[in-house]
Structure 1
Amino acid sequence: MKQMPNRRISLDLPEIIKMYEDGMSTTEIAITGNVSSRRITQILKKNNVELRPRGHWKRKYHINEDYFKCWSPNMAYILGFFLADGVVSGEGQTVSFAQKEIEILEQIRHEMESNHPIGEYKNGVHFLNINSKIIKDDLMNIHGLTPNKSKTVEFPYVPEEYMRHFVRGYFDGDGSINYEKYVVTFVGGSKLFLSELMKVLEKQQLTPSLKDRKSHYRLFISGRKSIQTFSKWIYIDKSLYLKRKFNEFNKEKLSYNELKDRAIKLTKEAVLERRRIFLHLLKVNGCVKLTSEKIGISPYTYKTWLKKDRIFEQEFNSILNSKVFHKQNERE
């Protein structure tokens, strides 16, 4: 019989013993250490650590196990936050939150009426492991969150009245704000999820753009007024939120009515997007002049693109030489 290969544990012995003595279960420690709970038990026994009776953790830790059954602003926030920074165990009954800023985990723990301990990885990231079959089942069966969800997760059903709280939670988990460049960014592995998030943002009169980075996707909102529009929406009736990100939006000195986005955004991402749109419209209408007018650029601009971007030049010339282009010109 072949032996299973030993996975390298990411915790050292003092950490394992301290976690166990602090009341964490072997399953919770195993998830943190990236090994099986059996391996943790073996390590504890080998080092003469007295083991608790099976199921003892249930008497020590409590939580509102029906928390994800009923919608509320805070539940929507925590669901969004968990979708970004949470993990559903594939083997045990544990769900885990992770975040550098311990304060938000403490608030989540309090909101869920839990006394589970908050631990810390060697890299300074804090984690909150919750051992509950009911919570795990609800996250999976009601909200569609599964183990290894990062690349496949779909946008869950969220009642419209709670949408801004859900988006704020996801933003606090997997989003960022660069005030100096007037850009809000969301990062994720699921194109399906971020595509639906785009539609949600478009309903708020925003114009987000989605970029494929091969290993992940990035969703951008850019513009001085646009990021404040986003901020005004997600922070209405806020309760749970990361203060650091909220404070970034508050660096704005002008009133909302004084703010304007640039007519044409000059970020690298925005320029690449305009080139893509230019080529797409050129294929459709077959007219360089009309295409330039539609996206608001001068002939000088697209001629500069031709000089500086070889790929753009090749695609541009390919369209010019296509039969479609010639036919459309003949009709004119």
Structure 2
Amino acid sequence: MRISTDARTGRFLTTPQTVQLSHDLFASEERPATWLAGLIAADGCISADRKRLALTQSGDHGRLIIEEARKLTNHKLKISRGTPRRGQPTYAITLNSPQMIADLDAIFGITPRKTLVYKFPDIPPHMVASFLRGYVDGDGCVGIYRTPQGNAMLHLSFVGTPQFIRSAISHIPAAGRFHEITRCAALAEARYSGRHAWAACGWLFSDADLLRTAKAQIFEEYRKVLSVKPPIWFTQSQQRQIAMARLAAGGTVAAAADAAGVRCATVYGWRKSQRI
């Protein structure tokens, strides 16, 4: 794509396509925009002169993500397609919007050459889940693996700077592990497995209005696995939800225990841990 500039000022000359862009998208605090910001934080690239934003994804699922990004930004130009010798085809779009780039910096701290320095943004709590979902959709890993006993286990992981990973773990309502990447001092990894991955993914992918990506589909597949052969922790989690919902509705401990099919002492313990 050829981009014209003013010979006198060096500014980009607008075209019918770039005029139509939703330049104020990232100032909206809407969940789809925040999801896209998270995706860009993981996989986007801003030019050194802060005039162009590029987003690239690979494979069929990557094309769906790029199509969603086009819809959200009102991008009207063609998708660039790459065919590497190895691996899947790549799809990319370029956005020429100084306002988008300025908002991504001001609100989400996304700048050129961010990989080794990016910090978790100071955003309102209601934006965190959609932002991290976009980050995981962009550069995370969600998979189902077999334990030595042959049971299916869910796994979630994603990489970032140590500060970003520690902050992300503190926001996700599940027990994640911080793993240092020794070959690169500026990067670390968040890891969740089993019931902790279940809790983390349940939180990340709970918004049905956001794009149903390949990673969200893997989590849905795991839901089906658990419904056929639920492990003990899953059964206990379901029982706890039933009991706590009954208590929240004003029921007694005995009524909550009866509804969940557990002992009263178990419900007392759950209630105590919730108050701590």
Whether 1:192 and 2:149 are equivalent positions in the alignment is no
Q: Report the equivalent of 1:245.
A: 215
1:87-128: CA deviation from partner (whole Å, max 9, x where unpaired): 111025101111111111111111122213221233222111
Matched residues in 2 for 1:184 and 1:83: separation?
Answer: 18
Whole-angstrom distance in 1 between the partners of 2:157 and 2:32: 22
Deviations 1:307-330 (CA, angstroms, capped at 9, x unpaired): xxxxxxxxxxxxxxxxxxxxxxxx
In structure 2, the gaps of 5 or more residues are 6-10, 147-153, 235-276
Q: Distance in 1 between the 2:13 and 2:110 partners?
A: 28
Residue 150 of structure 1 pairs with residue 115 of structure 2: yes
- Are residues 152 and 249 of structure 1, via their aligned partners in 2, closer, same or farther at CA, if it must alter by over 3 Å? same
User: Which residue of 183, 195, 199 corresponds with 1:214?
Assistant: 183
What one-letter code is carried by the residue in structure 1 that aligns with 2:123? V
What is the alpha-carbon distance in structure 1 between the residues aligned to residue 128 and residue 139 of structure 2? 16
Provide the rounded CA distance (Å) in 2 between the counterparts of 1:247 and 1:144.
29
Q: Radius of gyration: which is bigger?
A: 1
Distance in 2 (CA, whole Å) between partners of 1:257 and 1:70 is 43
Equivalent residue for 2:78?
A: 117
Q: Per-residue displacement from partner, 1:146-169 (whole Å, max 9, x unpaired)?
A: 110001011012221222111110
Q: TM-score, normalised by structure 2?
A: 0.69
More strand by percentage: 2
Instruction: Describe the SS at the equivalent of 1:251.
Output: helix
**Distance in 2 (alpha carbons) for counterparts of 1:212 and 1:241:** 30
Equivalent pairs: percent with the same residue? 22
Match of 2:221, SS state, is coil
Separation of aligned partners in 2, 1:162 and 1:55: 32
Equivalent-residue separation in structure 1 for 2:48 and 2:101 (angstroms): 10
Alignment of 1:164-313 (within 5 A): 164-181=129-146, 182-188=154-160, 190-201=161-172, 204-215=173-184, 216-223=187-194, 225-252=195-222, 253-255=225-227, 258-260=230-232
**Alignment-derived partner of residue 16 in structure 2:** 59
Distance 1:236 1:92, change over 3 A: closer
TM-fit CA distance, 1:80: 0.6
Quote the RMSD (CA, aligned, Å).
2.6
Cα distance between partner residues in 1 of 2:129 and 2:106: 23
Cα distance in 1 between the residues matched to 2:25 and 2:216: 26
Is the counterpart of residue 84 in structure 1 residue 42 in structure 2?
A: yes
Instruction: Give the Cα separation in 2 of the matches to 1:176 and 1:191.
Output: 18
Query: Are the counterparts in 1 of residues 120 and 164 from structure 2 also a CA contact under 8 Å?
Result: yes
Residue 77 of structure 2: SS of its match in structure 1?
coil
Alignment match of 1:98 (pick from 56, 63, 72):
56
Q: Distance in 2 between matches of 1:145 and 1:205?
A: 26
Query: Within 2, Cα distance between the matches of 1:259 and 1:232?
Result: 16
User: Which of the numbers 31, 37, 45 marks the counterpart of 1:73?
Assistant: 31
- Paired with 2:179 and 2:143, the residues of 1 have a C-alpha distance of 17
Q: Does 1:163 align with 2:131?
A: no
Separation in 1, partners of 2:74, 2:205? 24
Is contact 2:4–2:13 with CA below 8 Å preserved after alignment?
no
State the distance in 2 between where 1:241 and 1:115 align. Answer: 20
SS at match of 1:250: helix
- 1:199-240 per-position Cα deviation (integer Å, ceiling 9, x unaligned): 112xx13233322242342221112x2222122211222333
Q: SS at the partner of 1:254?
A: helix
Distance in 1, Cα, partners of 2:178 & 2:233: 15
Name the counterpart of 1:315.
Answer: none
Compared CA separation, residues 92 and 158, structure 1 to 2 (3 A): closer
